[in-house]
Chains A and B, each alone.
Chain A
Amino acid sequence: MGMSYRRYLNGARIYGCAQCKTHLATIHSMISKAFNGQHGRAYLFDGVVNVIEGEPNDRAMTTGKHTVRDIYCCKCGTTLGWKYDRAYETTQKYKEGKFILERNLLVSVQ
């Protein structure tokens, strides 16, 4: 709805979409590098920009059941990872509202 420009980040290290270089997140908002995605290593971020969120659905993961949404690059539409809406296990609650980006789909941009 409406025209809007992509958001731009600044900081020591900026992660962008490997396909189109759209800014996604900075290293300052990274919470953990110890995650796994469909393409290998993945990072957990506190906040990301320039993504479109898909519909929520429940997935059984190695750490238990979660409600997640896939996230897509707003420019090229590449699926980049997912967002945690809800964690059913109490120990996993810290992930709610956070984002996973897969390392292989990211590039460092400036």
Chain B
Amino acid sequence: MRLTEPQSSTSSLHLDSLSEAGPSSATGATNGHNGFLAKSNGYGLPFTNGSSRSPDLDGVSGRKSSKRDLSIARVTLPGTTLYDDDPSTDREEFVRLVIQSLRDVGYHESAATLEAESGYIMESPDVAEFRRCILEADWDRANIVLTRLSITEEDRLWEARFLISQQKYLELLEADRTTAALQVLRQELAPSKVDPDQLHSLSSLMMCSDVTDLRQRAGWDGASGSSRRQLLINLQRYIPSSLMIPQRRFATLLSQARSWQQNQCLYHNAPSNPRTFSLYTDHLCDTSPFPRVTTAILEVHEDEVWNMEWSHNGQYLASASKDKTAIIWRVEHDKDPSVREIFPKHILREHKFPVGCVAWSPKDDYLLTASENDIRLWDVERGICIARDVDHHSDVVTALAWLPDNAHFISGGLDRKIIIWDLDCKPRDSWSYCPIRVTDLTLTPDFSRVLAIGMYDVVPEVPPVPTPPENGVPQARPTTENRVIVYDLATKQLETFISTEGELTSVKVSHDSRYALINSSASQTSPSEIILYDLELEWVVRKFTGHKQSRHVIRGCLGGYDGNFLASGSEDGIVYIWHRDSGTLLEALAGHGSGSVNSVAWNPHNVRMLASCSDDKTIRIWEAPPSVASGAPVGSAQPATNEQDGGKGKGKNRERWDGGDGCGYGASSSSTFL
């Protein structure tokens, strides 16, 4: 496309270093300075290569229309890449994207100058004309130009033509030129090899009563709207992108870079904004506002605290304890730790056995609790039990979850039953057969699926005969396995299941209903792990390890901004927090007394607040370290041990399941604060 002056790359390198001699000459002529120059010195010294200027050389034919072009000297560079030491970026591609961006925002003179100086043009005259024809509704001309746009396959050319004719047809209908529209329908649309249904729906638009009706039924915003631009986007896929560059291509690449940087940012716990995302540097969140110190210890329970759940508004925390009570705590999560109050609003005392699970209704006006096979429904405001059932489950009820109508809920138990209830605690529906003793279940937030986990009994051979020795070694056949079962909520049909060797104790689902988080205890062949399972693709995305779970019911959760983090309790009394997308262990928070940390719960409204409950009878609230000015909070004696244990925990606990390289960040970040 352009002429280049023969020139060796070594001489080019030398000249480059001369051109930037001012600010960074100290770095010498070593490689890599080109990149530095481009990043830091955009305005001072443009990348020009003086000696290679040659007014006589102008490879761009047909671009001399403007006077400016004549006065701009073409710059000829060696090679075809943007930087001669970096083969990955093609110079022509890069420059054309810059020209496109300049034009998009209105720097037309600069764009023309760059075209003249580089010898690259944003797009060929044909593409420019095609674009103009579409935007100005010059359909006949557009069809002629279309044939010059390197569409090699006949079928694809027909499809592109169909799109253009469709726009033409709709615009004619919109302008009330029905006869002309009919002609287009008969002569242009009908002969194309299009799906008859599509043609039929197009012809039915003839009957539209008015323009508004037409636009609505066609899903089209009219000639004066964005429909012609949309048509161009649709036509893009038929035309080689090197010929017609996709719209705002540079911005697309930048947004990809942003999302990659966000994935690399292990402590990303706030929405993105221009302040935290600059093109000048890679994005990295400040690690200091991360919840890692205890700001409150809730000491009312008289025995081990086994389970917790935040209300949907984040203002209350319900806890379930071995002491046979459940407590509704008021937590002023939006106030500063030094002035806010946390107190038990109600202590629910009627259960006769330890309480194992709690569940807030969608409107936070009811709370469900279960203890053995006893389910109770409580009025949150008054703290009184308004309904109960002990007749329908014959064994421990392990899980409760609400349906979106605030009037029905679902329970699962070790008796292999899954039941749907109303507010009077009367069963309304149930699964006719559930193959597992349910140890936990949950609904996806979009209420499309039920996820149940539990123990699956392998039907034993009767009478049991010893397995014949294989390879001389008698093998014991396992009599139980554990399963995660995914049901469709509407039909109660099983969609899929996965088997695990470790016992399953907790299941949660991400806000987007895409991922399930499952705690699995250690078994003979696998360590204790938390499984992140993709419900759409039906595969295990990642496994998180480092915590300890061998005998007890330990629960994890997703939380923080965008569910970027994963936390879990552990039998070693530590709260563990991982980065969800890399698997990096970020924090190992010490503070609870002896025994297990049984459950953790991230506040749904305050992404910087986490609660944990333990065998030590307490609940701890974890938040960011308070600023120096606000004084020492409750539990301020903890930070020293935090740091120590946090550091210790990291080295041994990390397990990576993908090829990323995020490890370094995690290890270096946590010991800098506190």
Which positions in A face B, CB cutoff 8 Å? 1-6, 8, 10-12, 28
- Chain B residues near A3 (CB-CB < 8 A): 304, 306-307, 322, 354, 356, 552-553, 598
> Known contacts being A2-B598, A3-B306, is A12 close to B551, with CB within 8 Å?
no
CB-CB under 8 A from B354, the residues of chain A are 3
A2 to B459, CA, bound (A): 30
Can you list 5 contacts pairing A with B, beta carbon distance less than 8 Å? Answer: A1-B596, A2-B304, A3-B306, A3-B552, A12-B464
7 closest A-B pairs by beta carbon, nearest first, are A2-B552, A2-B596, A3-B553, A3-B306, A10-B457, A4-B552, A1-B595
CB pair B396–A2 under 8 Å, yes or no, is: no
Interface residues of B in 593-640 (CB under 8 A from A): 595-596, 598, 615
| Chain A CB within 8 A of B279 CB | no
- Of residues 416 through 458 on chain B, the ones whose CB sits less than 8 Å from some CB of chain A are 437, 439, 455, 457-458
Is B571 interfacial (CB 8 A cutoff)?
A: yes
* B interface residue count range (under 10 / 10 to 19 / 20 to 34 / 35 or more): 20 to 34
In the bound complex, do residue B463 and residue A12 qualify as a contact, i.e. CB atoms below 8 Å apart? Answer: yes
Given contacts A11-B464, A12-B460, A12-B463, contact A5 B398 (CB under 8 A): yes
| B668 proximal to A (CB < 8 A) | no
Residues from chain A with a CB closer than 8 A to the CB of B322 are: 3
Q: A1 to chain B: which residues have CB within 8 Å? A: 304, 552, 595-596, 615
User: Is A8 within 8 A of B553, CB to CB?
Assistant: no
Question: Could you tell me if A8 and B462 are in contact, using CB atoms closer than 8 angstroms?
Answer: no
B414 within 8 A of A: yes
Decide yes or no whether B480 CB sits under 8 A from chain A. Answer: yes
Q: Chain B residue with minimal CB distance to A22?
A: B395
Residues of chain A within 8 A (CB-CB) of B551 are 2, 4
Nearest B residue (CB) for A11: B460
- Complex partner residue of A5 from B307, B396, B615, CB under 8 angstroms: B396
Chain B contacts for A2, CB-based, 8 A: 304, 551-554, 571, 595-596, 598, 615
A55 to B658, CA, bound (A): 50
Chain B residues near A8 (CB, 8 Å)? 414, 437, 455, 457, 480
Q: Within 8 Å CB of A10, what residues of B?
A: 457-460, 479-480
Q: In the complex, A11→B464 CA distance in Å?
A: 8
Report the separation of the CA atoms of residues A10 and B456 in the bound assembly, to the nearest whole angstrom.
10
Of the candidates A2, A4, A6, the one having the most CB atoms from chain B within 10 angstroms of its own CB is A2
In Å, the complex CA distance between A4 and B596 comes to 11
Main secondary structure of the interface of B (DSSP, over half): loop
Measured CA separation A10–B460 after assembly (Å) = 7
Closest to B394 in A: A21
- Nearest residue (CB) in A for B479 is A10
Q: Is the CB of A5 within 8 A of B553?
A: yes
State the CA gap A46–B479 with chains docked (Å). Answer: 17
Shortest C-beta distance, B653 to chain A (Å), equals 20
User: In the complex, which residues 467-521 of chain B have their Cβ closer than 8 Å to any Cβ of chain A?
Assistant: 479-480
Q: How far is the CA of A42 from the CA of B598 in the complex (A)?
A: 38
Is the pair B414, A28 in contact by a Cβ cutoff of 8 Å?
Answer: no
A5 touches B462 (CB 8 A): no
A8 to B438 CA separation, bound complex (whole angstroms): 12
Minimum CB–CB distance for B456 against chain A, Å: 10
**B599, closest chain A residue (CB):** A3
A16 to chain B, nearest CB (A): 11
How far apart are B221's CB and chain A's nearest CB, in angstroms? Answer: 58
A sample of 9 more A-B contacts (CB under 8 A), given A2-B304, A6-B396, A10-B480, is: A1-B615, A2-B596, A2-B598, A2-B615, A3-B306, A5-B439, A5-B553, A10-B479, A12-B463
Interchain CA distance A72-B238 in the complex, whole Å: 77
Please name all residues of chain A whose beta carbon is closer than 8 Å to the beta carbon of B615 when the two chains form the complex. 1-2
Contacts of B437 in A (CB 8 A): 8
Chain B residues with Cβ below 8 Å from A6 are 396, 414
Q: Cβ of B398: which chain A residues have Cβ within 8 Å of it?
A: 5
A contact residues around B464 at 8 Å (CB): 11-12, 28
- Shortest beta-carbon distance, A5 to chain B, in Å? 6
Residues of B within 8 A of A28 (CB): 464
> Which chain B residues border A5 with CB–CB below 8 Å?
396, 398, 414, 439, 553
Kindly provide the distance from the CB of A79 to the nearest chain B CB, expressed in whole angstroms. Answer: 19
Q: Which residue of B lies closest to A9 (CB)?
A: B479
A41 vs B272: C-alpha distance when bound (angstroms): 73
- Complex: A50 Cα to B596 Cα, angstroms: 20
- A70 to B229, alpha carbons, bound, how many Å? 83
User: When the two chains form the complex, which single residue of B479, B552, B553, B554 contacts A11, counting CB atoms closer than 8 Å?
Assistant: B479
Chain A residue contacts of B596, Cβ below 8 A: 1-2
Contact check, B553 vs A12: say whether CB atoms are below 8 A apart.
no
Complex alpha-carbon distance, A107 and B317, angstroms: 41
Considering the complex, which residues of chain B in the window 335-365 have a beta carbon less than 8 Å from any beta carbon of chain A? 354, 356
Inter-subunit contact B304/A12 (CB<8 Å): no
Q: Give the chain A neighbours of B458 by CB distance below 8 A.
A: 10
Q: How far is the CB of B135 from chain A (nearest CB, A)?
A: 67
- Whole-angstrom CA separation of A4 from B459 in the bound complex: 24
Q: Tell me the smallest distance from the CB of B556 to a CB of chain A, in Å.
A: 14
Kindly provide the distance from the CB of B597 to the nearest chain A CB, expressed in whole angstroms. 10
Give the CA-CA distance A3 to B598 in the complex, in Å.
7
Most B Cβ at <10 Å: residue of A3, A4, A6, A28: A3
Q: Closest Cβ of chain A: how far from B291's Cβ, in Å?
A: 24
**Chain A residue contacts of B598, Cβ below 8 A:** 2-3
Residues of A within 8 A of B307 (CB): 3
Task: A12 to B464: give the CA distance in the assembly, Å.
Answer: 9
Q: List the A residue with the shortest CB-CB distance to B457.
A: A10
Give the shortest distance, in Å, between B354 (CB) and chain A (any CB): 8
CB closest residue in chain B, given A10:
B457
In the complex, the chain A residue whose C-beta lies closest to that of B354 is A3
- Could you say which residues of chain B place their CB within 8 Å of the CB of A11? 460, 464, 479
* Contact yes or no, B553 A4, CB < 8 A: yes
How far apart are B344's CB and chain A's nearest CB, in angstroms? 21
Q: Which residues of B contact A12 (CB under 8 A)?
A: 460, 462-464
CB distance from B592 to the nearest CB of A (A): 12
Given the complex of chains A and B, what is the CA–CA distance between A4 and B553 in angstroms?
Answer: 5
Q: Which residue of A lies closest to B416 (CB)?
A: A8
- Report how far A1 CA is from B572 CA in the complex, Å: 12
Bound state CA distance, A5 and B395, in angstroms?
11
Chain A nearest CB, measured from B355 CB (Å): 10
Closest to B372 in A: A75
Interfacial chain A residues near B306, Cβ < 8 Å: 3
Question: How far apart sit A10 and B306, CA to CA, in the bound complex (Å)?
Answer: 28
User: Roughly how many angstroms separate A12 CA and B463 CA in the complex, as a whole number?
Assistant: 8
The chain A residue with its CB closest to the CB of B521 is A4
Query: Of residues 550 to 576 in B, which have CB atoms within 8 Å of A's CB atoms?
Result: 551-554, 571
Q: Once the chains are docked, how many angstroms separate the CA of A10 from the CA of B435? A: 13
Determine how close the nearest CB of chain B comes to the CB of A51; give it in whole angstroms: 15
Quote the shortest CB–CB distance from A18 to chain B (angstroms): 16
